[in-house]
A and B are shown apart, each in its own frame.
Chain A
Amino acid sequence: MNIKYLYIALFALCLCGCDDFLDIQPTGKIIAETGAEYRALLTDVYSTIPEDRGLTTLRTDEMAADASSMKSLDYDSYFDIWNWTDYNRSPSSLYFGWRRYYHSCYIANYLIEHKGAITKATKDEIDQMVGESYMIRAYMHFLLANLYAPAYTKCIPAETRGIPLQLEADVNAVLKCGSLEKVYSQVLEDIDSAAVYLNVDRWEEGYTYRFNTVTAHALRARVALYMGDWGKAFGEAEKVIAEYPELEDLRTSTKLPTNYKSVESIMALEQVITPVLMGVGHAEPALISSYRSGDKRQKMYFTPKTLTRWVYRERNSSEERCTFRAAEFYLIAAEAANELDNSEAALKYIKALMEKRYTDAKYAEYSAALDALDKDALRDEIAAERQRELAYQGHRWFDLRRTAQPEIRKTFKDGDTEEPYVLSQGDERYTLHFPAEAVAANPEIENWN
């Protein structure tokens, strides 16, 4: 029976070797452990950030369209967005994003929750990633609130439904909506948390799509502006300008200020107006004519396709990325200062921007005219400058929402027929419904209370 013992020995050997035998690292699959791997998780979030700010351009008064500009495929996808059809949409219509935002939040939360377990990284590197994660979470919730909840300045935030806040990485959670006020206070809290951790002041070229220390001020300034918190908006904008005072000089430069290499670029993440979105329609003639003579931006941003039809000028799209740039903060500072009755500061910042945008002669003329304006007139002038400066860059829809929510009229010409569309003043469609697929996956989500 010797054989039997031999066999038992073999069998036992087999059992021991088994664990090694079963240890297979699947090709291409990974559970993040090291700093570099967690960074790769974040990079994925950055590379898939929703481009909805660009998509909002379709709903604004910036883009006109007709059958010749909106071709069949674009028509199927974008027509309902362009003409504010929020009910009975065509099945092929696109939706604004939803899950992507929360997926970014999930990764951010996951990183925050695992910060103690990250290996092979310095404390600074880990802190910076944690800071970026808080910024991602804040920015995602902020964008969602501005797409899917009423404007903060146009409601009683504590009594208004906001959006679900994802503050934990938990796939089994069924989230509910909180108040809009809750959303904004969470966003501000997250920015504060981020500020504690962020430690990279400036990223090297090629990495400037990441959040840096200044972006905490930048986002806070934008959030405060949307809340109508002028003091905070002014203070934070000035802090940004202190770090990034330079503006692209359009009198001499051929580079767009949205270029990632522009001197005024603070953070170059979102593409905003992608080549596809540019092609959906053409620029509203009123927008083109709002550029006064001597304004370098008209021809920098737009190009005439025919005599009457201007379209956004397509550049090398991979270079045009901009989430924050200095000009926005000059505009925020000017607007906030004006509201704070500090016309001196308001004029200082708006003129500093205009100087780089107009020919010298026209700058002298237009800037001199500003001095005579009262607060209301100056507000209008700053708003007009803001529209011109930030045209097609994903700001207009949110500016319309937080200010007058004016009536917008559009017509769609197809052959001989002209179909008119109206977004009336304060229209409920200034706020989007939650996407149908989100409601389908969580039927109670759009309700509150």
Chain B
Amino acid sequence: MKKLFILLLMALPLTLLAQQRVIKGKVLDGDFDNSPLIGATVKVEFKEKERPLLGTATDMNGEYSIEVPSDAKGLSVTFVGYETEFVRITPEESVYNVVLRSNSNKISEVVVTGYQNIERRRLTSSVATVNIAEGNIGSITNIDQALAGQVAGLSSVVSNGAPGAPVKIRIRGTASLCGTQDPLWVLDGMPLEGTDVPAMEELKDIDNIYQTSIAGINPADIETVTVLKDAAATAIYGARAANGVIVITTKKGKVGKVQINLSSKLTVNPNLDLGRLNMLSSEEKVGLELDLLASGYSYRDKKGTVYQILSQLGEVDAFKAGGWDMLSPDAQNALNSLKAINTDWNDILMRDAVSQDYNLSISGGTEKVNYYTSVGYNSEQGNVRGVGNNRFNITLKTDYRINKYLKLGASVYANQRKQNTYLTDYNSFTNPIYYSRIANPYQTVYNDDNSYSYDKNVEGRADTDLDFNIFEERANTSNTRTDHSLMSIFDAAFNYNDIFKLTSQLGLQFDGYKLDRYAGEESYAMRYEKYDKRYNGTTYLPDGGMHKVNSSNTTQWTWKTMAEYRQTFKDAHEVEFMLGSELRRISSGTNYSLAYGFDQRTLTTQPVIFPSQSAADAMSFFTETFVQNAFASFFATASYTLFNRYTIGGSVRFDGSDVFGVAKKYRFLPLYSVSALWRVSEEKWMKNAHAIDNLGVRLSYGLQGNIDKNTSPYLIGKIDRTQILPGNIEDVIESETAPNPNLRWENTSNVNAGIDLAVLNRAISLTVDYYYRKSTDLIGLRMLPLETGFSSTTINWASMENQGVEFMLSTRNIYTPDFLWTTSLNVGYNNNKVLEESVAENSTYPSRKGYPVGAIFAYKTAGLDEAGYPLYRAKDGRAVSAQEFFKLDKHGASGMSAAEQRDLYTYMGTSDPVVSGGFLNSFEYKNISLNVNFAFNLGATVRVQPTYNPLFFDRGLNTNKDILDRWTPTNTDGKFPAIMSSDGVHNSEIQFYENYASFNMLDIWVKKCNYARCQSIRLAYKFQGDWLKKVGVRSASLSVEGRNLFVIAGDYTNYLDPETMGNPYATPLPKSAIFNLNINF
């Protein structure tokens, strides 16, 4: 390096004499078989920095030609998405061919915020960009899956591993308690509707098949995803952006020859291994039932096949009196043959799943027009038989350059999705995952005569005779959701000159879905329905099945217009203004219909003959809703850069919406931000620090706000009709929402400070961000004194802070012409604390003040007493009985005040991960590349369901092996509490556990949830050689990927996956092997 410099210095006098000369060459795409790169920028570089810009762009053949002054040092060649190359020029040579390599690990030069494209050198806010290249993130079927472990400060939790299930994404923790906590998704500038993921509690309700509109976007169409994190970046999006913004930028046609890309993927998900659940075998289960029978435990004592066998033979009392030996040989044989049945529910309810994914895209362009067209088909099978999801996509994008001033663009994104799953409307055990955990191992599916063998034990209540068999259920019920989505965007850009620009964008989104639930006559669901609709003991429903249809339609249009002004004065002052408006209208409607007597072959239904008016009133065959909202916003941004070093920026936005029953002056909500950037590396005194490529310091402050639109100072009612006396139907206005004139705005102020550093020719780049978000007057639901006439209202009830550090380190460890190894580590640490929370005086659960919002509290236990009852750790460290700990009276009620009861709890941890991040490695050797990605979540706790309830253990169901390690008189070392039944001593404790659900609150049911998931290991090979050209192929690659191969985690015994520990109904994330072939023509 130094030598070269000296050489150059020596050559200087010579070159000074030389005239300007022309340098020519070609810029080639190193990633695309050295095809010409059109439109690459070639810039002349000088030794001194303050020289006028001199540059050109490559033409249709990738060629350039430029006049270069004699004192030029070299040329820099840049192209968006490619690594910039610097070429040193020598006086001897005048032709320089440059090969550019795209680098997906590299940050691009321009950041797309959805409103503006900002050059990185002037970016004052905290923004992360993820390149959605397969080598980077592996194979994914939904874009929301791609972000796990990719961006510091973004945590993503999978609710359910079933195909098509949404992923819960949080950016920088939770800021709101009442409103949505999901980030705003933006597709090519258009904010999307229908992206909210329901609360975890609702997701546990397995009845719902849920899809967000994100699920309809084909990941193969996506170029990059930009995550906007701080207020300076999100303020422009207004109130909806309080939880961060995720901007999706789709692929575009590039100027050049037509490119055809074909990719096909085959995914194999091997069957789930339920072995981790440690369920009881038939032998153990029969043994347990016998033990319980002998012990006299009375809860559901007539359940379990053991009891049924003995009771049929009339030997229950004999067994209770004398045990096994007193049983007749018949009974012993019957029980022994029961022990010998071992139905492998895992095997018969689950399967190895195979999924397919095909994508074809055609793109290209000229200077006048460029286009991108793609078709995609994806079909996913779930590991649970009968569960699947498929998607069909079409994307059309075209940009036209009409003349010197005007550019137009039109894009259409259309998709159809279909999701199949089981019907679980009537009881949770109809969920196969759950059923596989509670069905007895000795339960058979078919009787000897091939009829269905009904499970008599699973229903819980003793007095129903609604037969249930999961195979019958699967054969005769269905639950299907079909989604249709059409999004289209029309862009117009009017470039008056380099200074002034007008842009306008109209976005349309039509989303609709239909949920079909069908239960045939021969199903538990239908029998349950008939049982439920009875009059004088017989059902009044007609013969046949049932068909329920829910359908929903959402339409939104967004029209935004922006004027931009940008000018540079005296090469030192760069000024930029933007002024814009946005109008948006959303309407959505739902329909629900219900029919009985449904015949699937003829699609006919039968009328219901009601026995009484009240029965008819209770059933609704058709309901419809319609909601419409409108939004109007005005916004402006400004930025000023001095000497390419100091940038200050600001933005302000007024968000208006159609709040009903609120004074007009409250319609507009102002939000603003200010920010600054100091690029230290551009300072003169840094000039000699050659090792440092970039060093910048960012600072921003912003204010976000929100108001509850459902609370009004007026009494708002809902119109309905009712009949009080016969024959007279009247209008009524139901008014169940308490009016509240005292409600204030919810405010969140954000501070962000960050450093960007790149050294050693960008071999190491590091971004560190610190943020502090304080939310005050958070809106939440508050119980009202019932004497007001209302049970609750929304009030400003809490304040909370989030502070955290995000750390993103990318390194290029080894870089030789043949071998490249890059690593990226991102870590986000978030500390959430509730500063103020108004807790109802009567609450027995502690306030979260001083703790995270996801705080989990539990009672500290201290082992078991001499009868196997839990002991508690008192404040003074003694192990005390429940009776003493809770000061129980003889009815099991605590004699303590609510405040004292709150004090009994101990803080166990938070349900949100404290540290989350990813560790990504990429190796490239010649044509082979290997990617290894890990994502981790640390510091979370989760409250799991007790493995068995000592009072209400239903012996009709299977459970895991924990129960074998319970305390019994013969197993006094048992780790888990005894099965409790009245013994005269512990009566108050029994009543306490019975009435106050306190057993779930023991610390033994709170688990740490730390894990690192190996998301992807991917090995790819790129074919090369002349033979490719002969068959008309430009390039081709083949890859094999293993996704979710293993999890490194703390203790998660008895659970399939640490991520879904809290939800026994969830399908765990499946392991998968993916084979991918990618061909470019």
Contact = CB atoms under 8 A, between A and B. Distances in A.
Interface string B475-496: 0000000000000000000101
B738 A4 contact: no
B656 A18 contact: yes
A37 B719 CA distance: 9
B738 to A, nearest CB: 4
Contact of A441 (B563, B660, B727, B785): B785
A82 to B, nearest CB: 19
A29 B664 contact: no
Given A23-B658, A24-B630, A441-B784, A317 B614 contact: yes
Contacts of A207: 725, 728
B628 A26 contact: yes
Interface in B673-711: none
Contact of B581 (A11, A44, A318): A11
Contact of A41 (B563, B630, B717): B717
A432 to B, nearest CB: 15
B893 A40 contact: no
B1 to A, nearest CB: 51
Contacts of A39: 731
Of B631, B661, B712, B786, most buried by chain A (CB within 10 Å of CB) is B786
Given A3-B502, A22-B667, A206-B725, A30 B716 contact: yes
A75 interface: no
Contacts of B898: 443
Nearest to B717: A30
A170 B741 CA distance: 10
A164 interface: yes
Contacts of A106: 788-790
Nearest to A104: B789
Contacts of A105: 789
Interface in A86-138: 87-88, 91, 98-99, 102-107, 110
A87 B788 contact: no
B1007 to A, nearest CB: 28
Interface residues of A, number: 75
A31 B719 contact: no
Given A7-B502, A41-B733, A43-B732, A22 B657 contact: yes
Contacts, number: 200
Nearest to B563: A7
Contacts of B995: 88, 91
B300 to A, nearest CB: 14
A107 B431 CA distance: 45
Contact of A44 (B733, B785, B789): B733
Contacts of A19: 664
Contact of A171 (B717, B733, B793): B793
B787 A438 contact: yes
B613 A318 contact: yes
B614 A87 contact: no
B726 A319 contact: yes
A148 to B, nearest CB: 12
A170 B740 CA distance: 9
Interface stretch (A172-180, A280-288, A345-353): A172-180
Contacts of A46: 724
A3 B563 CA distance: 10
B742 interface: yes
A87 B890 CA distance: 12
A377 to B, nearest CB: 41
Most chain A C-beta atoms within 10 Å of own C-beta, residue among B716, B735, B787 = B787
A440 interface: yes
A14 B735 CA distance: 35
A406 interface: no
What band does the interface of chain B fall in when counting residues whose beta carbon is under 8 Å from A?
35 or more
A47 B617 CA distance: 14
A169 B739 CA distance: 10
B716 A88 contact: no
Given A40-B730, A88-B893, A24 B740 contact: no
Interface string A415-449: 00000000000000000000001111111010000
A204 B1001 CA distance: 59
Interface string B459-488: 000010000000000000000000000000
B791 A40 contact: no
B634 interface: yes
Contact of B787 (A28, A169, A175, A269): A175
A102 B790 CA distance: 8
A317 B840 CA distance: 41
B325 interface: no
B891 interface: yes
Interface string A3-38: 110010011001100110111111111111000110
Given A22-B632, A31-B717, A437-B786, A209 B735 contact: no
Given A171-B740, A443-B841, A321 B630 contact: no
A16 B882 CA distance: 68
Nearest to A209: B724
B735 A107 contact: yes
A24 B728 contact: no
Contact of A36 (B716, B731, B784): B731
Interface string B1034-1066: 000000000000000000000000000000000
Given A27-B626, A318-B726, A171 B661 contact: no
Contacts of A209: 724-725
Contact of A321 (B612, B613, B725, B784): B725
A22 B628 CA distance: 10
Given A27-B626, A44-B734, A208 B725 contact: yes
A152 interface: no
Interface string A42-65: 011011000000000000000000
Contact of A172 (B585, B723, B742, B786): B742
A403 interface: no
A4 B628 contact: no
B446 interface: no
A17 B656 CA distance: 12
B724 A43 contact: yes
Contact of B715 (A23, A32, A175, A206): A32
Interface in B610-664: 612-614, 625-632, 634, 656-658, 660-661, 664
A68 interface: no
A173 B786 CA distance: 10
A281 B636 CA distance: 72
Contacts of A173: 785, 787-788
A72 interface: yes
A371 B876 CA distance: 79
B595 interface: no
A334 interface: no
A441 B791 contact: yes
Contacts of B893: 88
A107 B664 CA distance: 26
User: 10 tightest CB-CB pairs across the interface, nearest first?
Assistant: A106-B789, A206-B728, A442-B785, A103-B789, A44-B732, A99-B786, A24-B658, A175-B787, A102-B789, A88-B891
Interface of A: 1, 3-4, 7, 10-11, 14-15, 18-19, 21-32, 36-37, 39-41, 43-44, 46-47, 72, 87-88, 91, 98-99, 102-107, 110, 164, 166, 169-175, 205-209, 260, 268-269, 275, 316-319, 321, 437-443, 445
21 contacts: A3-B496, A3-B500, A10-B561, A22-B630, A27-B627, A43-B724, A44-B717, A102-B789, A103-B790, A106-B789, A106-B790, A107-B789, A166-B788, A171-B739, A209-B724, A317-B613, A318-B726, A438-B787, A440-B783, A440-B840, A441-B840
Interface of B: 463, 494, 496, 500, 502, 561, 563, 579, 581, 583, 585, 612-614, 625-632, 634, 656-658, 660-661, 664, 667, 712, 714-720, 722-728, 730-735, 738-740, 742, 783-791, 793, 840-842, 891-893, 898, 995
Given A29-B717, A88-B893, 10 more contacts: A3-B496, A24-B658, A25-B660, A27-B626, A40-B730, A41-B732, A41-B735, A47-B732, A260-B726, A318-B725
